[in-house]
Amino acid sequence: MKKLLVLLFLSICLVTVSAQESFEQTIEQLSHFYPAQEHSEQAGWIQKYIKTRLEKADIPYTEVPLNTLKDCHSFAKNISVVLPGTGEQNLVIAVPMAEHGSAANTALALELAEYFSRQEHTSQIQILFLGADFIGAKVSSEEFKEGKYTLFYLNFQGIPDKIILQTGNRDYITPYWMVSSCNSGLRKTGLDFNLKPEQNILYNIGMIPEPSPLDIYLDAGVTALMMYGSKGEKAQSASIWADSFCRFVEDFEKQGLTHRENEDQNYFIMQLGDAYIILTEFHIMIFFLVVTGFILFYIILHTRQTKNYVHIFLKNFFIVFWTTMMIFIFFQISTWLSELFLKVTRLDNQWQTIIPELISFKVLITLVFLVLLLPTYSQFKQHNLGNFYSGSAVITALLDMVIFMALDFAFAAYFTWSLLCIFIFAVVRRRHIKFLCMMLSGLFFIRTIHGILFYPAMNLCHGLIFSSMWTNLYLAVFVLPFFFMGIRIFYVIPLEVQLKHKVSKVLGYAAMIILTILAFRFIYLYRPFNETNRQLVNAVEFYDLDENRGTLTLESDYRLGTMLVKNGDEEISVFSKDKRVIYDIQKPQEEVSVWAATSRFLERKTIEFHVAAKGKPDQLYITLKAPSKDEKILVLDSTYPYQIQNDTVSFFIGKNQPMPFELKVTTHKNSAFEAKIDICYSTMPFDFIFSGDNKYCKPSLILTKKLSFHEEK
């Protein structure tokens, strides 16, 4: 009855769709359909809504099936709206309808379609509603390979306070001209946005490997950029925001979509308050040449002083080596202490929730050791030692530049700025200017590290927290110039040396005591989960249809504690200090039928697989495996695309497949293999009730069946 009422309500929504309804009304109408999965019933209603809205606005559209690729398959369809322009440029607005889609996303795409259908525009504008995030993007990218396309991928989850721009992936960066045009256009229309200055560097060094649909377009050679953002906290008019966004796209399109053979992907984004300054590769090279030229010119004018610096550096090189090794050891100790801390708190699999705390913990431990190390440098008192530390800072800064720019050119702007500040630090005499230069030298590094921690770039954060010996050595080399500047500042402070050493020891021991107290407080009083941040428990129910036995596995990244699970007619009470428990379960209540029929003709064997399962399985996996690794399975034909890897054949079957399901496979009559069928649910087809304090459950059910097919005699 409840389902009937929902369907009746949705039908009324579709009947009452108006081409002129407001943006807020569209969001309200569409919000009843979300969240939606690919090719689900909700996704079907969304498509009907879009088509009804387009038809009433007299906007032509086409539907593109997503079953045309050889390496993937979906039962869904893309909806494409093409609005011809007066020129040859192509601007595409792509939005997901399901999976990562949202009511605001779809409503904004409809608003753009109607906005540009009422006026002339230079570019051909295509509004693309993707029926499946990755497959829908892949099908459309095949078309875009034939020409020059500029694409916006919109992935909003609500009306955001700030629009966040994704400008690349680990292989390609969105060209400078598009990012620059977005920067000026968004500011002109008054839309708040965030370019995330650190992201291009992270993409360049491969530290954001997580895939996104934007990757598909960038890999296909399309000039593309993704805009995303969650529902904002500020109360703002949705219609005004949508109108501003439409004006931004119009302004962007009028600027002219330029494409060049060598599009600049090595640009540097600098944030000053709410403004962004984007330096091209040319600007960075000019800055680099000016700074290095200035330093060389100074060296030529002060050759004697330069020789003195080099002589002192070489004479006391063992201090540099000893300092590097000590910093390396301190970083290594901080890594071991961080790992020990996570094991004691049992947060070793929950480190992602406390990334800023862990990084701060490691930095503070290293700083404590470095402060306690300062008095030992009084043992190295030699002639003109101050010049040695200043010269060492400059030389090690040059070494940093060579090492890190060799890793990636994206670091050029950072290290060039740092080298300039450190060089000025070395040549000026006033301690106030020295202190200012030391602060400015690490300015962009601190800003970038802050952005990385709150981005967050999980791969890089993992590398910094659980750093290997090589990573710690890189870190030691990186901080060398800053540490030498710190020693130089330490010795120019107008106090007696003995008093300085006493102060440094007191500060070091005090910091160590505070760190110890905070660590113990964290260990014994920290509660990682509460009502707003609940613990995820994965409930994986597996049932073998051949052996009539099943298991329920409950697992989490933290100890499970107390919870209650009602699985059909069974009730399971859990109290465990472990992170994973397994229980035997009864047969599922729902009927499942899996069988195959075999027919033969000449040298061929055709097998028809039939699967009938109640409820709504999300995914069906069918694989064929040969008896041994040396044997191959010869597949002559199939109703679904497939992939052969060594002795295994995997079929690409889309999500939310129709039930009953059929797959027809033709093989050579001598092919022998075992077929495995896995039926997967994310919504249980029977009653599944979970309860636990500050916990939530993500259930899944896997039913598996095996069928054997032997060689024909």
DSSP secondary structure, 221-288, as one string: T-EEEEEEEPPPSS---HHHHHHHHHHHHHHHHHT-----TT-----EEEEETTEEEEE-HHHHHHHH
Using DSSP's 3-state secondary structure scheme, residue 58 falls into coil
Secondary element (H or E) of residue 194: strand 193-194
Tokens encoding 327: 């910093």
Across the beta sheet with 62-65, what order do the strands follow?
62-65, 77-83, 124-130, 90-96, 150-156, 223-229, 163-166, 193-194
Alpha-carbon span 27 to 104, nearest angstrom: 6
Provide the 10 A C-beta neighbour count for residue 214.
26
Q: What pLDDT was estimated at residue 693?
A: 84
Domain assignment present for 67:
no
Q: Examine residue 660 and say whether the peptide bond preceding it is cis (omega within 30 degrees of 0).
A: yes
Dihedral sign, CA of 435, 441, 447, 453? Answer: negative
115 Cβ contact partners less than 8 Å away, ≥ 6 residues apart? 246, 250
Q: How confident is the model at residue 176 (pLDDT cuts 50, 70, 90)?
A: confident
Q: Are residues 601 and 675 in the same domain?
A: yes
The pLDDT tens digits for 613-643 are: 887 888 999 999 988 877 888 888 899 999 9
Q: 165 near 226, Cβ under 8 Å?
A: yes
pLDDT at 373 over 90: no
Q: What pLDDT was estimated at residue 600?
A: 83
351 Cβ contact partners less than 8 Å away, ≥ 6 residues apart? 342, 358, 462, 465
Q: What pLDDT was estimated at residue 12?
A: 47
Domain assignment present for 73:
no
Distances (CA, A) of 72 to 98, 530, 646: 17, 41, 19
Q: Are residues 488 and 391 in the same domain?
A: yes
Q: Are residues 302 and 383 in the same domain?
A: yes
The pLDDT tens digits for 576-600 are: 888 889 988 887 766 788 888 888 8
The pLDDT tens digits for 552-569 are: 999 988 888 888 888 887
Q: Are residues 302 and 422 in the same domain?
A: yes
The pLDDT tens digits for 43-85 are: 889 999 999 999 998 999 999 998 888 888 889 899 999 998 8
Q: 675 near 623, Cβ under 8 Å?
A: yes
How are beta strands 90-96 and 124-130 bridged, if at all?
parallel
How are beta strands 619-625 and 648-651 bridged, if at all?
antiparallel
Domain assignment present for 632:
yes
- Mean pLDDT value of segment 696-701: 90
Alpha-carbon span 615 to 584, nearest angstrom: 22
Question: Quick one: what percent of the chain has pLDDT higher than 90?
Answer: 17
pLDDT at 206 over 50: yes
As separate numbers, helices (DSSP H) first and strands (DSSP E) second, the chain gives 20, 25
pLDDT at 376 over 70: yes
Q: How confident is the model at residue 514 (pLDDT cuts 50, 70, 90)?
A: confident
Candidates 135, 144, 1; CA nearest to 72 is: 135
Q: What pLDDT was estimated at residue 259?
A: 60
- Mean pLDDT value of segment 462-480: 87
Distances (CA, A) of 490 to 367, 377, 378: 14, 11, 11
Candidates 655, 651, 654, 642; CA nearest to 683 is: 655
Residues in the chain: 713
pLDDT at 495 over 70: no
Domain assignment present for 543:
yes
- Mean pLDDT value of segment 171-196: 88
pLDDT at 262 over 60: no
Q: Are residues 103 and 22 in the same domain?
A: yes
Q: Are residues 601 and 454 in the same domain?
A: no
Split into its structural domains, the chain has a count of 3
Tokens encoding 283: 């600007």
Dihedral sign, CA of 534, 535, 538, 539? Answer: negative
Helices (H), 347-384: 355-373
Q: Are residues 597 and 698 in the same domain?
A: yes
Q: What pLDDT was estimated at residue 1?
A: 43
Q: Are residues 265 and 390 in the same domain?
A: no
Alpha-carbon span 5 to 496, nearest angstrom: 84
Q: Are residues 656 and 702 in the same domain?
A: yes
Q: How confident is the model at residue 383 (pLDDT cuts 50, 70, 90)?
A: very low
Q: Which residue has the tokens 């708040």?
A: 192
pLDDT at 538 over 50: yes
What CATH number did the domain enclosing 596 receive?
2.60.40.290
Side-chain-side CA neighbours of residue 88 (13 Å): 4
Alpha-carbon span 668 to 611, nearest angstrom: 23
Alpha-carbon span 511 to 391, nearest angstrom: 30
Which structural domain, as residue segments, surrounds residue 367?
283-525
Final residue before a domain boundary, out of 463, 493, 525: 525
Final residue before a domain boundary, out of 525, 544, 575: 525
Nearest-5° angle of CA 569, CA 575, CA 576?
125
Strands (E), 653-694: 661-668, 673-681, 688-691
The pLDDT tens digits for 5-27 are: 444 445 544 444 544 568 888 88
Alpha-carbon 69 to chain mean position: 26
Domain assignment present for 531:
no
Q: Which residue has the tokens 């050791």?
A: 369
Higher-pLDDT residue of 300, 15: 300
Q: 32 near 16, Cβ under 8 Å?
A: no
Q: What pLDDT was estimated at residue 301?
A: 86
Candidates 147, 211, 143, 203; CA nearest to 179 is: 203
Domain assignment present for 494:
yes
Candidates 268, 255, 247; CA nearest to 200 is: 268
DSSP 8-state symbol, 160: -
Q: Fill in the amino acid letter for 16.
A: T
- Mean pLDDT value of segment 92-98: 91
Q: What pLDDT was estimated at residue 260?
A: 55
Q: What is the mean pLDDT of the chain?
A: 83
Domain assignment present for 702:
yes
Alpha-carbon span 568 to 59, nearest angstrom: 49
Q: Are residues 398 and 543 in the same domain?
A: no
Q: Which residue has the tokens 């889609």?
A: 101
Alpha-carbon span 331 to 468, nearest angstrom: 10
Higher-pLDDT residue of 661, 2: 661
Q: Are residues 87 and 216 in the same domain?
A: yes
Alpha-carbon span 672 to 650, nearest angstrom: 15
- Range in 21-30, 454-463, 604-613 with the lowest mean pLDDT: 454-463
Alpha-carbon 418 to chain mean position: 29
Final residue before a domain boundary, out of 525, 545, 580: 525
Q: Are residues 204 and 332 in the same domain?
A: no
Alpha-carbon span 99 to 121, nearest angstrom: 32
Q: What pLDDT was estimated at residue 6?
A: 47
Domain assignment present for 74:
no
Secondary element (H or E) of residue 414: helix 412-427
Q: How confident is the model at residue 650 (pLDDT cuts 50, 70, 90)?
A: very high
